[in-house]
Amino acid sequence: MSMSTNKETHIHWFGNDLRMVDQPFARITNGIQQLIGLYVIDPKRIAFNQWGFRNMSLQRLQVLREHLIDLERDLADQGIPLMVRWGDPRDIVPRETQKRNASLSFMKEYATHERNAQSQVLDQLDPAYVFQYDGNFLLQPDDCSWDDSFPASFSRFRKKAEKILKHQTYILEEPLKRRNKIIEPLLKESQRELHEHSAIPFPGGTNAGIDRLNAYLFQSKRASTYKKTRNGLLGKDYSTKFSFWLAVGALSPLMIMKELKKYEEKEGSNKSTYWIFFELLWRDFFRHAGKYYKDDFFAKNGLQKSSWGYHESKIAFDEWVNGNTLNDFVNANMVELKETGFMSNRGRQNAASFLVHDQQEDWRKGAAWFEHCLLDYDVYSNHGNWQYVTGVSFNPRGGSQFNVEAQADRYDSDRRFRQTWLKN
């Protein structure tokens, strides 16, 4: 990406990079007269999918609104307006850019619909004034080349990534501090009601994300015990919950790593602090895979191209969605998901395994329900993990089938989690 524009006006088309820190476009727009932010909500994102439910829940939409209000305030502090438009980005983005004779920047997406929309926007504009780049990675795509073969497993990817990132200093061009103080009213503005047992009782937006970083790291020092608590099921502190902000780019992996390194210098590094990095690499693995495989990443039979059998049962699927299966641990997790928009990693592994292995349903249907509900929905992590559990991609063992009864005994031995979410 060449790093300058001589246009007087520049538009940054925001996508899943809803933040002002760690933004590559800042380098392009140095000295520009007018910078404008643009966010387009494509109606397709809340349309009904092939299985009869919406791609996005109302709760997800409310959280998106919080992220956007917070971004709008951060931008306003710097005199930058944010235009939020409803409609097809293929019409809106070129129109707004041409109307102002502006240059344009955006972060690349790799999933089919978003990638096609971006390329059709590009087709309508002068490419000399469009700046598109890879973003939200830990391992920068420029620092690694997969040539013709992407690492076949996470462990191969991790080894390579760790080698490259070993001496990485995670530098941000500006200090990471909260810009505006008005966070609590966000929930009021979005009209979102927090469930009393929500594991993610946070408002959206970078400012709340920075608060969470501080709380999880420096204030409570939870990062030093992460590896012991990460399989927890109840409460906000058994894991970082950074995914809530990472999903829309309100926090970037670089912002997290910078703070994690600072924390390690202050409090010491241990297995737990390393494990947060390790888990962030899982996220990076799926993001890189999405970039590398593009449409193949979303194929029904995954990357192995081996067909796998499933039978469609609307009744069984509805039972799973509503937490009415014969397994109370799965049920509790599914109720939590529906009511709060979150489920722990332990819950996700079990709920997914139950649907695809015990009920032998189509993994894409499960992934679509997670997409509908999850406030941290991320296309790469979601599809990658579903394929991994199913065994159609990335999994050297060819699938992960959990014994959900045994998992419940192990991780919810006192039944507190099940009692919290199941009424009887």
Ligand X SMILES: Cc1cc2nc3c(=O)[nH]c(=O)nc-3n(C[C@H](O)[C@H](O)[C@H](O)COP(=O)(O)OP(=O)(O)OC[C@H]3O[C@@H](n4cnc5c(N)ncnc54)[C@H](O)[C@@H]3O)c2cc1C
- Contact footprint for ligand X (CB under 6 A): 230, 239-243, 246-247, 276, 279-280, 282-283, 286, 344-345, 348-349, 352, 370, 374, 376-378, 381-382, 385-386, 389
Closer Cβ to ligand X, 279 or 358, answer by number: 279
Closer Cβ to ligand X, 183 or 373, answer by number: 373
The SS3 call for residue 130 is: strand
Task: Write phi, then psi, for 104 (nearest 5 degrees).
Answer: -140, 145
Cβ(237)–Cβ(222) below 8 Å: yes
Q: How far is the CB of 348 from ligand X (least distance, A)?
A: 4
Q: How far is the CB of 275 from ligand X (least distance, A)?
A: 8
Closer Cβ to ligand X, 89 or 341, answer by number: 341
Phi-psi region of 400 (alpha: psi -120 to 50; beta: other; left: phi over 0): beta
Cα→Cα distances 19→34, 74, 100, 260, Å: 18, 8, 23, 19
Closer Cβ to ligand X, 284 or 328, answer by number: 284
Closer Cβ to ligand X, 17 or 376, answer by number: 376
Q: How far is the CB of 281 from ligand X (least distance, A)?
A: 8
Q: How far is the CB of 228 from ligand X (least distance, A)?
A: 12
Q: How far is the CB of 381 from ligand X (least distance, A)?
A: 4
Closer Cβ to ligand X, 104 or 335, answer by number: 335
Q: How far is the CB of 271 from ligand X (least distance, A)?
A: 14
Tell the burial category of 162 from Cβ atoms under 10 Å away from its Cβ (0-12, 13-18, 19+): middle
Enclosing H/E stretch for 348: helix 345-353
Give CA–CA dist 367/268, Å, rounded: 38
Cβ neighbours of 182 (radius 10 Å): 11
DSSP state of 361: -
Give CA–CA dist 306/385, Å, rounded: 18
Each as own residue / partner, the long-range contacts of residues 309-315 (CB below 8 Å, 24 or more positions apart, any chain) are 309/360, 310/356, 310/360, 310/361, 310/362, 310/363, 311/360, 311/361, 312/361, 312/362, 312/365, 313/359, 313/361
Closer Cβ to ligand X, 146 or 275, answer by number: 275
Q: How far is the CB of 216 from ligand X (least distance, A)?
A: 8
Closer Cβ to ligand X, 13 or 245, answer by number: 245
Q: How far is the CB of 269 from ligand X (least distance, A)?
A: 16
